[in-house]
Amino acid sequence: MQYAYSLTGNSCPVMKKYQVAATAIKGIPLLIPAAGGAGLATSTTTSAANMVGVTLDGATYVTAQQTDGTSAEREVTMIVNPDAVWRIKMSGGATEDTALTLLPVTTASTSGLAVTTASEWSSPTFDEGVTWGYDGANAGSNRKITSVSSTAGTVTVAFDQDTAVGDNFLRAPYWPTQSVAIQLSTLLTQADASIAVGTGAALVPVELYLRDITDSGQTNSFVYAVSGDHVWGPRPT
């Protein structure tokens, strides 16, 4: 996760140092301490409630006095703006940098209202997510998925061109202004785009950067999101 911009237009993010109570790496969300905790806690793949910010560096958590004379206190530098928008790379699975799955069209749609493939669309469900053309006549065009079946994603706003057999599409479980959750990858640095819509941590998509074959869309697409449960911002819980 990387800082992209602020929703309020502030060009200078606010950075603070805080003690951690878990080993942390660069680019992950940290949360307020649990009861009895010695410092900030790391998020999980499915929870970023009570978020404080995202790390700019890392630290290895220790509790004992150090024999080398250094302090046992371990701090990380974080951007803590509650309105910060985070640039999160989409991964095709829980492991970082997994390519998004290509979906070859198996049945053409002359109306441009369906992307029919040999892949499952309903379990996990991609209903209310996004699909976009990776190559072919609709390369670079995206539409909101409004219903799904075991073999197809259906859109309400037609793709401008027919979806032709052999064309490849990509998909992700996000739609700006509607989605309220993003499941994080194993190391908490990327977005696992292989899971069902509505699953994951309290991160709200603001916009999508959906790239096609000309720009390595399988490994170079991003969701931009803001915290939906920040300690100094909106907190629904």
From the first residue on, what is the mean pLDDT of each consecutive set of 10 residues in the chain (237 residues)? 92 93 96 91 96 96 92 95 97 98 97 96 97 97 97 97 97 96 98 97 97 98 97 75
**What is the maximum span of the chain, computed from C-alpha positions, in angstroms?**
72
3 state SS of 51: strand
**Residue 168 to residues 21, 70, 118, 141, 164: CA-CA distances in angstroms?**
45, 55, 11, 12, 9
Which residue segments constitute the domains of the chain, with CATH numbers given? 2-88 (2.40.300), 91-221 (no CATH)
Tell whether omega for the bond before 124 is within 30 degrees of 0, i.e. cis: yes
DSSP, res 34: P
Instruction: Say how far apart CA 97 and CA 228 lie, in whole Å.
Output: 25
Q: What is the pLDDT of residue 37?
A: 87
Kindly report the pTM of this predicted structure: 0.94
Q: What is the pLDDT of residue 143?
A: 98
**Residue 200 to residues 100, 193, 222: CA-CA distances in angstroms?**
18, 10, 16
Q: What is the pLDDT of residue 36?
A: 87
Q: Can you list the pairs that 207-213 forms with residues at least 24 positions away whose Cβ atoms lie under 8 Å?
A: 207/176, 208/130, 208/142, 208/172, 208/174, 208/176, 210/130, 210/132, 210/140, 210/142, 210/170, 210/172, 211/140, 212/132, 212/133, 212/134, 212/135, 212/139, 212/140, 213/134, 213/135, 213/139, 213/168
Instruction: Say how far apart CA 207 and CA 7 lie, in whole Å.
Output: 12
Instruction: Say how far apart CA 229 and CA 50 lie, in whole Å.
Output: 5
CB-based burial label for 70 (10 Å; 0-12, 13-18, 19+): exposed
The pair of three-digit structure tokens given for residue 146, joined into one six-digit string = 């409004």
Cα 145–Cα 151–Cα 157 angle in degrees, nearest 5: 25
